[in-house]
A and B are shown apart, each in its own frame.
Chain A
Amino acid sequence: MTTSSKPRSNTSRRHLLAWFATVAGLTITRSAHADASADSATAFMTKAVAELTSVVNGPGTMPEKAAGLQAIIERMVDVNSVGRFCLGRFWRTASPDQQKSYIEQFHRVLVSNITSKVGEYSGVDISIQKTFTREDGIVVSSQVARPNNAPAKVDWLISTESGQPLIIDVIAEGTSLRLTQRNDYSAFLSRNNNDVGALIAALKQQTVETTKAQ
């Protein structure tokens, strides 16, 4: 009995050790992974900010700056993911055609909304501060200073879901851009019979107006 119990206890001890090693290994890998992605997010944002400020504060006419800014948005913002988030629960009810056409329009609205403000950002100075992990991504905090404006706290939400770090939200002084947008769209939809087609038409109209105003 003793002989038979000994190997069993050894086995279970070995199992236990193996289990511990695995858990410890997983934990280390996970935290190392989290640190690595936090570091890559910080590096990514530092690069993005450098590019952003060099375009906005650099020489060049307004249309040139707007084009430069658009190129940065295309490369560094996960526009499709932001668009899906903004449509919220209506994304699932939309037909594939509507989804496609909505994303196209959303893309245009986002780009024209940002590039139309390029002149106002002139003289901007962005300093990266701390980085922390949130359940929906990695937050890189920054302090944004503009001439004649009080410094603002701006957080950039970074997701690595697509395999590379990309911006999925901008949180200015505690207000999330994509959440505000989602609330705007859902209010519009609830007053228009939840018709995604109407939203797409309204976004089209909006792009036309912004382009005209420029």
Chain B
Amino acid sequence: MVRFEVADWPTGLVEHFYLAFGASDAGIVMTGLNRHLRRADRKWSLKQWLLSAVIVVSFSALSGCATPPPASDPDAVAEFNETNDPFEPANRQIYAFNSTLDTYLIRPLAIVYRDALPQVVRTHTHYALANMGLPVQWVNDMFEAKPRRAGDSFMRFVVNSTLGVGGIFDVATDFGWPDHDADSGTTLALYGVPSGPYIYLPVFGPSSPREGIGMGLDSLINPFTWVGHGAVDADLGYARIGISALDTRSSLLDDLDKITSQALDPYATIRSLYRQHRESQIEDTRHYDEHTIPAWFPEQMRKPHQTPGSAGVQKQ
């Protein structure tokens, strides 16, 4: 009998929000999915999952590509190429599916999470979840050739996991090791891999071929994918995914409500926001060149002030 748990779907939707707003790393979600696949009593094997994914994708491809505007209208053609969404009709169907899921399941749960727990609990839960994403961040920092950031990630993980009691407290930021974004999608972009067309994945949300591959790589890099076995471990994994889903979705309640209520075409607005946000994250990483001198070193030795994560465009 095919067992299909609704509880597994939120992970993907969260991924969509992760990607759309860069709230955290993709690894957390993918790790959960992998645990799900490895669980002994799972009725669906990895092969079946892959097969179903292929079927979904093929169905999407079959359900039609966007019709390019006639060549006689160069402005429209330019816009079509810039939008780079050749699978728009299929993407829109999947968007509608994810929205329904969000309306009836994820959003109500996120509201309960927000209203039931005090801000301080939610904040520290967020810190603990972010701490678990640091190994992936660290590896990507190194592949991105950003030694300062790799040092930040490494020290954040060490200090917050110990002094910060398993990541519940973010003491590292005060010590001069601030948080930043790093993921395999960005790493691939810095190595010159183009984004490719916009793809709206079922469950996973806004993506592109490059980001999709990045998500897979992050999950491979993540040590939490590989450590631990057995039912208790799997259940802990579920708990983590469930909580990160609620953590992320609840932090976006107001923002997403605003987008969907103020946009004439929420699908296109999210596509635009997602693209711009990813692009700016990548450019920030590309231009980040702060020295590896720590915060407590004399100020004169450091480069002129640069906000961590700010774009590298400076006044000349």
Contact = CB atoms under 8 A, between A and B. Distances in A.
A161 interface: no
Interface string B78-116: 010001000000000000000000000000000000000
Interface centre among A130, A206, A210 (most CB of B within 10 A): A130
A179 B276 contact: yes
Contacts of A88: 79
B299 interface: no
Interface stretch (B25-33, B43-51, B144-152, B260-268): B260-268
A113 B311 CA distance: 28
A185 B264 contact: yes
A6 interface: no
B284 interface: yes
B6 interface: no
Q: Which of B22, B75, B265 has the most chain A CB within a 10 Å cutoff? A: B265
B314 A175 contact: no
Contact of B79 (A113, A134, A143, A186): A186
Contacts of B276: 174-176, 179-180
B79 A89 contact: yes
Given A132-B313, A179-B272, A184-B272, A174 B277 contact: yes
B119 interface: yes
A173 interface: yes
B264 A180 contact: no
A120 B32 CA distance: 34
A135 to B, nearest CB: 12
A210 B257 CA distance: 13
A143 to B, nearest CB: 7
A183 B268 contact: yes
A153 B262 contact: no
A197 to B, nearest CB: 14
A184 B277 CA distance: 16
A191 B265 CA distance: 10
A143 B308 CA distance: 12
A139 B309 CA distance: 17
A180 B313 contact: no
A29 interface: no
A190 B280 CA distance: 27
B273 interface: yes
Given A186-B79, A206-B264, A180 B272 contact: yes
Contacts of A73: none
Given A183-B272, A187-B265, A206-B264, A143 B279 contact: no
Nearest to B271: A183
B303 to A, nearest CB: 14
A130 B306 CA distance: 10
B10 to A, nearest CB: 23
A169 to B, nearest CB: 12
Given A38-B315, A184-B272, A175 B277 contact: yes
A201 to B, nearest CB: 11
A178 B310 CA distance: 21
Interface in A92-145: 113, 117, 120, 129-134, 139, 141, 143
B272 A131 contact: no
A184 B263 contact: yes
B292 interface: no
A5 B2 CA distance: 99
Interface string A46-88: 0000000000000000000000000000000000000000001
A143 B307 contact: yes
B315 A184 contact: no
18 contacts: A130-B314, A132-B316, A153-B309, A153-B310, A173-B277, A174-B283, A174-B284, A175-B276, A176-B276, A180-B273, A183-B268, A185-B264, A188-B264, A190-B76, A190-B79, A199-B264, A203-B264, A213-B261
Interface of B: 22, 75-76, 79, 83, 119, 254, 258, 261-265, 267-269, 271-273, 276-277, 279-281, 283-284, 307, 309-311, 313-316
For the complex of A and B, 7 pairs with smallest distance between CB atoms: A174-B280, A187-B268, A183-B272, A188-B264, A132-B315, A187-B265, A89-B75
Given A117-B258, A174-B311, A187-B264, 19 more contacts: A38-B315, A88-B79, A89-B76, A89-B79, A132-B314, A139-B313, A153-B309, A153-B310, A153-B311, A174-B277, A175-B276, A180-B269, A180-B272, A180-B273, A184-B268, A184-B269, A190-B76, A206-B264, A209-B261
